Amino acid sequence: MRLEKITSKALEKVNFDRYLLSLAVAKRANELISGAEPLIDVDVKKMKYTDIALMEIAEGLIKVNVKK
């Protein structure tokens, strides 16, 4: 899937709040850098940690608290 579609899907999960999405991606990417296992089946050596985090959020594997 193209990165634009993944980003769009992830934005839907956070009510189109780009700031909240960027914070969530950064936090999850830092967890992955620190040794956390990815929740999706990807080759970590071939993908950026931020892309992995974005894909996890888009698939609903990482829950982001959205205040309304």
Q: In angstroms, what CA-CA distances link 39 with 46, 47, 61?
A: 16, 14, 7
Q: pLDDT tens for residues 48-64? A: 999 999 999 999 999 98
Q: pLDDT tens for residues 12-51? A: 999 999 999 999 999 999 999 999 999 999 988 999 999 9
Q: For the chain, where are the alpha helices, taking DSSP H only?
A: 3-13, 18-33, 49-58
**Domain boundaries in the chain?**
3-58
Type of residue at 41: D
Query: pLDDT grade, residue 66 (50/70/90)?
Result: confident
18-37 exposure pattern, b = at least 16 Cβ within 10 A, e = fewer:
eebbeebbeebbeebeeeee
pLDDT at residue 67 is higher than 80: no
Query: pLDDT grade, residue 65 (50/70/90)?
Result: confident
